[in-house]
């Protein structure tokens, strides 16, 4: 990445400006490197960011056509097409709405061998220019749940009960997932840049833990502070518990 990209920083934004600011930052990286290789998360947090990316492409402000997007994580045990599937969400909220979508690398979880997609995922996610991640209520990043070590690579994981329940309660899954596959914390920390997206008051406590309490396996997001180019994009509600704010 260009040396003019700033080092670690916390960007606190009014809620109304959050999505457009993150989209503009991505447009900046795409302008520097149209063939950007990045991973993207799903969940409710990035939805308005993806809407901004679609709107910007429509008005001709930017294009993702030359980029490659690797999926950050995926559920195990949900059939193809399930509305909670991460590939379904990312296609529905972003790629299917773009006139010129980027290359997309989903996670092949529908085969017989559960370890195979993790191996392929780690290869696809090696040397990313940018890792965009969200923050789970328990401090997870992707599906790197509490207990994850910073040296853990992409793998099949057992999910915390709260994560499995979120699939049905929050994301409309037709069944409770049996597990997950995630880009590993080590693989994320090897990216050229890392962006942590956090919005909403309900994330204020876990964001404070991630950024201001000692790092540790009980909050995997805390290890992101090791990255020299971490940018935290938080709205004011999510940042309301931070001393720094």
**Cβ pair 176, 167 in contact under 8 A:** yes
Site map for ligand GLP, 154-173, x if CB under 6 A? ---------x--x-------
Q: For residue 12, what are the β-bridge partners?
A: 234
65 C-beta neighbours (distance < 10 Å), count: 15
- The whole-angstrom separation of Cα 159 and Cα 164 is 6
In the residue annotation, 152 being an active-site residue is answered as: no
CB of 93 to ligand GLP, least distance (A): 12
* Of the candidate residues 41, 102, 106, 192, the single one contacting ligand GLP (CB under 6 A): 41
Which residues, in sequence order, are bridge partners of residue 103?
Answer: 68
Residues in the interface with ligand GLP (CB under 6 A) total 12
CA distance 40 to 35: 15
Which residues within the stretch 111-140 sit at the binding site for ligand GLP (CB under 6 A)? 134, 136
With 0-12 / 13-18 / 19 or more C-beta atoms within 10 angstroms meaning exposed / middle / buried, residue 127 is: exposed
Q: Which is nearer to ligand GLP, 34 or 172 (CB)?
A: 172
Q: Which is nearer to ligand GLP, 143 or 233 (CB)?
A: 143
Residues catalogued as catalytic = 73, 138, 140, 145
Q: Which residues bind ligand GLP (CB under 6 A)?
A: 41, 43-45, 72-73, 134, 136, 142-143, 163, 166
């Amino acid at each position: 990445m260009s040396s003019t990209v700033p080092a670690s920083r916390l960007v606190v934004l009014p809620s109304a400006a959050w999505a457009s600011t993150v989209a503009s930052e991505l447009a900046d990286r795409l302008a520097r490197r149209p063939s950007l290789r990045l991973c993207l998360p799903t969940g409710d947090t990035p939805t308005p960011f993806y809407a901004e990316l679609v709107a910007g492409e429509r008005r001709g402000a930017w294009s993702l056509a030359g980029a490659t997007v690797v999926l950050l994580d995926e559920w195990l045990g949900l059939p193809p097409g399930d509305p909670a599937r991460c590939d379904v969400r990312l296609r529905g909220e972003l790629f299917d709405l773009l006139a010129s979508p980027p290359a997309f690398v989903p996670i092949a979880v529908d085969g017989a061998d559960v370890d195979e997609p993790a191996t392929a995922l780690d290869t696809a996610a090696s040397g990313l220019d940018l890792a965009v991640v969200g923050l789970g209520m328990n401090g997870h990043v992707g599906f790197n749940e509490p207990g994850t070590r910073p040296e853990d690579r992409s793998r099949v994981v057992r999910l915390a009960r709260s994560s499995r329940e979120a699939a049905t309660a929050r994301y409309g899954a037709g069944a409770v997932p049996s597990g997950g596959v995630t880009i590993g914390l080590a693989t994320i920390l090897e990216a050229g840049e890392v962006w942590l997206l956090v919005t909403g008051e309900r994330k204020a406590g876990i964001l404070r833990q991630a950024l201001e309490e000692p790092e540790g396996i009980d909050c995997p997001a805390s290890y992101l502070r090791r990255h020299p180019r971490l940018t935290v994009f938080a709205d004011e509600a999510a940042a309301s518990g931070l001393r720094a704010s």
